Structure 1
Amino acid sequence: MKKEELFLNDIRGIIDAARAHAVRSVDFCRVQMYWQLGRRIFEEEQQGKDRADYGSYLIKNLAKQLEPDYGSGFSVRQLSFCRQFYRLYPIENALRSQLNWTQYRTLIQIPDVDKREYYELEAVNNSWTARELERQINSQLYERLLLSNDKESVLAVARKERIPQSPQEIIKDPMYLEFLGLKPQAAYYEKDLESAIITHLQHFLLELGQGFTFVARQKRILLEDDEFFADLVFYNRLLKCFVVVELKTGKLTHQDLGQLQMYVNYYDRVEKMADENPTVGILLCTSKNDTAVKMALPEDNKTILASEYKLYLPSQTQLIDEVNSVREMMEQKSHSQNID
């Protein structure tokens, strides 16, 4: 048997063995599988280190052979992450069973060793989900703590080697609590507002009587190992298309538009049937004093189809009125609770 075939058989053996044990421990089994793939790729790469760009060629060729059998989880990008994962975490027994592959993949993209260790420890100590870990990194928790504490103290607390000695060590300043939506004298107000608007919109669109049928709320979209959640998904029988609604409790950003466009593209490329019309995306972006609505109609609409979209979809004015009515209701409720 040729060396290349032996190598490919080793890779396939790792994947198949991992699949056999997935029933008992899916998440950590995936972590171990990707670690073993990374180790095997790295070992094979080192044997060809005298050849220029051998590592890049190796991964591209391997992905080409694996993807048809095992799917997008073994793409060039994923296999490159596997190699990087092994290089940063070379001791298999040191892997933490509390962390899944999505969390490890986020961690290995942090170049600073101390920063990476801090988030790894905090994710374990606080049972962070993958989304929460990413949120804490994006909010620069580590950097904010270092503003008032030295690096060794911060790491010592994360490692549970010492107990915080002052409030400044455990209270983040500034505090990033958008995931709770805490506001002065109105605990959890923003989160309640978001939930209320989503619920209200769901009922509002269904009650329009213009062909809307409910598909999903917080629709999970898995792209390779990245998870995304679309707030609301409907199907309009009259338009013969999906309608994705996203709500952002803050001002509109280009990232919000990009995320909505990704959801629209996903439904067009994965869910939409050949005889159905292009997906429509609606982005509602609320702030304290205004409500912005962005409706993403497909660019290749025909004139008649565009007219039908306008006929059967709610107008921007209708959507703004619905959101503002919920906002006023929540403000009145919050005001009443504060008085009590």
Structure 2
Amino acid sequence: MSDAHLTTMEYRDWLKEIKQRLRQAQVKAAVQVNTALLTFYWELGADIVERQKTAQWGSGLLKQLSADLMTEFPDMKGFSKRNLERIRMWYLFYSEGFLNCDTGCVAIGQQPVDQLPKLDSTQIVPQPVAQMVGAQKVQQIVAQLVQIPWSHNLIIISKCGHVKEALYYVNKTIEHNWSRNVLTHQIESGLYEREGKAITNFSQTLPAPQSDLAQQLIKDPYNFDFLTLTKDYNERELEKALTDHITKFLLELGAGFAYVGRQQGLQVGERDFFLDLLFYHTKLHCYVVIELKTGEFEPEYTGKLNFYLKAVDEQLRGDRDEQTIGILLCKTRDRVVVEYALSDIHKPMGVSEYQLTRALPDNLKPSLPSIEELEAEFGNPEGGDE
């Protein structure tokens, strides 16, 4: 066979397949290495804690252990005194935490270290933590921890206040494959406290699986602190600012939102109507209409959004699409008023607040310049977007 055959499409397709399989093998190997290493870290953390309790080796244990391990394994990273301290802290964070479950609370730290299960690095049991008790629960929790990189684990325990919150971010990282930067952003923006907190009528207007998922995908409040707006901004300026920063806006909305457009036109009868923002959600398989309001929620807003949802369902929704969902984003809202307004609406919609800046401690506010002072300082009296 001549070398000319090596330039054919058949050969190139075969080569492409080999490269893809090799990359998949590399990823799989990296995951297995990470899992095995973190399983070892967990067991090492347990050993360190137990030895410090029972052995009379003094306060220099970690320093001496670090020196001995680095001498024996000079090509391996992770045995510095600082990292050994982190391993110990990682183990204690979870082992001393109380884990809430449907059948009660179990304190991992109350179990003797020698009774903690030794994990096979291939044992990843994807069962909800709430269904586990005792040693089996510990095994499942550790199996989750070892699925994400060590650096991600360190970010989580350094920024989370309790085990339940930490495990929330562990599972979200596994689900969405978050980078360190995205994970840090989600923790610092308080996603754990905000997700699924919007006021909605989903349980009355959507079937159970769809309604539960939709509820979890809507936050309250939304954090738009990446925007720079003048004090008296209007809806159109807010809408433009969000689409100018669409990447950050999509990150705040969460996984699954695909941007369709702003001021999407719909003709109903002889009139034209324009949606503030239109998205498609790839997990819910439906259009999502977002309407922006710069003031307090008013009951009449639901009527207008209900009209828009009807129009989208009639004109844009395909045979395989689920019901269109509406989200009203308001600067403020009275919870009782919102619940009254949604009670007789038959289209699925939710109402959330949004924030342009994160709240600052009162003792810091006097020391920071106002927007007006900054604009005057930099000669930009008009303000505007970034």
TM-score category (smaller protein): 0.3 to 0.5
- The structure showing larger relative contact order (alpha-carbon pairs under 8 Å, at least 6 residues apart) is 2
Q: TM-score, normalised by structure 2?
A: 0.35
Structure with the largest fraction of helix = 1
Q: TM-score, normalised by structure 1?
A: 0.39
Structure with bigger gyration radius: 2
